[in-house]
């Protein structure tokens, strides 16, 4: 393609300017691989240096987070907020509290968020943030003090018209509550729209907790329908057992599917008779115990595989659908080969970039329907935007109404992604469709706003 050298030059410069940030490099590579045909059709993007500008965050904020643990020991963590692109609206993206969080992690997540948010069709830009703080094993008091310290710096960079953080790994309604309380205390404003993922009794939205998991299943349902298939009777693997995974399992069950595997950081369970969701939720959400407890209490044919992922499960059973809902780069090339051999029809990313480049190549070459995270897991941020709408209008919607809105948004994302793939000559390629549809919406807004 005539613009291949342009793309490669810009990618090489991105690597040079962002050394060591391998996840960010991977995210940029995956988008750039789809854009040659777009630049051929839209030379104005090259002339305005859109690719160079879209890879450079508008603002990167790094700060110290000092706090005191229950023993009186002063602890120090590092906080991040990468405000990546606001061409479509205020920055929008979660906060991740996990010991693996580095600047490159936050940049990769923020870069993905830009296109994911664009695909929703809603007026929100992209950003991401977090800290290398690990909430596991910490008391409520320690988590509160950490969140208050984090917000004492972060508050000056956010706002309902500027940047609206939400939750992510390690940040749920409890953490959002502590963060919002400190924001309110410092600013003396009950600015509900500054954070999403709030409790439903104080400005939160029904369905927000379920939204990412539900949305991934809705998107997969639309993909399956293109092949005359559905979840009814489908055997499904879901990685993880956190918020996204639990509600993906719930919606799969509601649509007639059978989830036979789940996992956490300690290992995976295989339940060939179908996951007992009530038991799993009790163990993970109420008791906060390891997933091995599920195997102990469920009994029967359930197996626990210590240190393994669900993609390592050995079984003669077919697997129709795979929903990776845990973390980035969790499906390897070898595991993708195993999924193809098991008869998998569709894979949809409930997590951000959980499929390695090698695994993605295997799945696409095998003709597996593949829903990339920027399309398939956009339900969470879409419902966050619905929460912002309710906050702005001082309104509160019922569960059924909000879920219907979410379902409509996911249908629109699927339609937009599939139609773009058709337009650019790669029907059924949701990766290319999502990348181009998200990119062109942001790029056109950037052109309209001038060189800023």
Q: Is 49 assigned a ligand-binding role in the annotation? A: no
Has residue 204 got a pLDDT over 50?
yes
| pLDDT, mean of residues 208-229 | 97
| pLDDT, mean of residues 310-318 | 91
Q: What is the pLDDT at residue 4?
A: 64
Residue among 176, 175, 170 nearest 195 (CA) = 176
Write down the domain spans for the chain: 1-56+430-451, 58-189, 210-367
Q: Is 227 assigned a ligand-binding role in the annotation? A: no
Q: Is 128 a catalytic residue?
A: yes
**Residue ranges in 97-242 assigned as alpha helix (H):** 103-119, 140-154, 173-187, 211-225
Q: Is 116 assigned a ligand-binding role in the annotation? A: yes
Has residue 63 got a pLDDT over 70?
yes
Has residue 257 got a pLDDT over 90?
yes
Q: How confident is the model at residue 252 (pLDDT cuts 50, 70, 90)?
A: very high
Q: What is the pLDDT at residue 1?
A: 42
Q: How confident is the model at residue 5 (pLDDT cuts 50, 70, 90)?
A: confident
Q: What is the pTM of this model?
A: 0.93
| pLDDT, mean of residues 116-125 | 97
- Return the axis-axis angle of helices 4-17 and 22-32, rounded to nearest 10°: 170
> Could you say which DSSP state residue 164 is in?
E
Same fold? 1-56+430-451, 210-367: no
Domain 210-367 sits in CATH at 3.40.50.720
**Residue ranges in 226-370 assigned as alpha helix (H):** 243-254, 277-281, 292-298, 333-341, 357-365
Q: Average pLDDT, whole number, for the chain? A: 96
Q: Is 113 assigned a ligand-binding role in the annotation? A: yes
Give the dihedral sign, CA 293/296/299/303: positive
Select which of 107, 128, 198, 338 is catalytic: 128
| Torsion angle, alpha carbons of 206, 321, 357, 364, to 10 | -120
Instruction: Look at domain 1-56+430-451 and name its CATH class.
Output: mainly alpha
Has residue 2 got a pLDDT over 60?
no
> Could you say which DSSP state residue 24 is in?
H
Tell me the pLDDT tens digit for each residue of 259-272.
999 999 999 999 99
- Helices (runs of H) and strands (runs of E) counted in the chain: 18, 12
Q: Is 265 assigned a ligand-binding role in the annotation? A: no
Tell me the pLDDT tens digit for each residue of 395-435.
999 999 999 999 999 999 999 999 999 999 999 999 999 99
| pLDDT, mean of residues 82-99 | 98
Has residue 319 got a pLDDT over 70?
yes
Q: Is 60 assigned a ligand-binding role in the annotation? A: no
| CATH number belonging to the domain at 58-189, selected among 3.10.450.50, 3.40.440.10, 3.40.50.10860, 3.30.420.40 | 3.40.50.10860
DSSP per-residue codes, 45-90:
HHHTTHHHHHTS-SEEEEEEEEEE-TTS-EEEEEEEEEEEE-SSSS
Residue among 300, 270, 263 nearest 284 (CA) = 263
Tell me the pLDDT tens digit for each residue of 127-148.
999 999 999 999 999 999 999 9
Q: What is the pLDDT at residue 315?
A: 86
């Amino acid at each position: 393609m005539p613009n291949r050298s342009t793309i490669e030059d810009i990618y090489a410069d991105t690597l040079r300017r962002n050394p060591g940030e391998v996840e960010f490099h991977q995210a940029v590579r995956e988008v750039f691989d789809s854009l040659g045909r777009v630049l051929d059709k839209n030379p104005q993007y090259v002339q305005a240096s859109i690719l160079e500008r879209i890879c450079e965050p508008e603002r990167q904020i790094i700060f110290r987070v000092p706090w005191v643990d229950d023993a009186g020991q002063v602890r120090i963590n590092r906080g991040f907020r990468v405000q990546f692109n606001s061409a479509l609206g205020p920055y929008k993206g979660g906060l991740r509290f996990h010991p693996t969080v580095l600047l490159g992690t936050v940049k990769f997540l923020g870069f993905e968020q830009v296109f994911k948010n664009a695909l929703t069709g809603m007026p929100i830009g992209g950003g991401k943030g977090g800290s290398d703080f690990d909430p596991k094993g910490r008391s409520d008091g320690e988590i509160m003090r950490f969140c208050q310290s984090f917000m004492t710096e972060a508050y000056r960079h956010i706002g309902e018209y500027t940047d609206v953080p939400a939750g992510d790994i390690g940040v749920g309604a409890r953490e959002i509550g502590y963060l919002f309380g400190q924001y309110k205390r410092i600013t003396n404003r009950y600015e509900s729209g500054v954070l999403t993922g709030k409790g439903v009794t104080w400005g939160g939205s029904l369905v927000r907790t379920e939204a990412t998991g539900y949305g991934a299943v809705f998107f997969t349902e639309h993909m399956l329908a293109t092949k005359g298939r559905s979840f009814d009777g489908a055997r499904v693997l879901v990685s993880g057992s956190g918020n996204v995974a639990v509600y993906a399992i719930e919606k799969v069950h509601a649509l007639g599917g059978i989830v036979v595997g789940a996992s956490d950081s300690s290992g995976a369970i295989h339940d060939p008779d179908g996951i007992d969701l009530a038991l799993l939720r009790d163990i993970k959400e109420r008791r906060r115990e390891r997933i091995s407890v599920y195997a102990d209490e469920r009994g029967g044919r359930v197996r626990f595989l210590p240190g393994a992922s669900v993609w390592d499960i050995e079984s003669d059973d077919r697997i129709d659908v795979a929903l990776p809902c845990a973390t980035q780069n969790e499906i390897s090339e070898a595991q993708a080969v195993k999924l193809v051999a098991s008869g998998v029809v569709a894979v949809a990313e409930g997590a951000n970039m959980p499929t390695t480049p090698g695994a993605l190549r295997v799945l696409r070459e095998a003709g597996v329907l593949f829903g990339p995270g920027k399309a398939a897991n956009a339900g969470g941020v879409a419902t966050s935007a619905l929460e912002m709408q309710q906050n702005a209008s001082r309104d509160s919607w019922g569960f059924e109404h909000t879920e219907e809105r979410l379902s409509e948004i996911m249908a629109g994302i699927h339609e937009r992604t599939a139609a773009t793939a058709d337009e650019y000559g790669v029907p059924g390629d949701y990766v290319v469709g999502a990348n181009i549809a998200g990119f062109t919406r942001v790029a056109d807004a950037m052109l309209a706003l001038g060189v800023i």
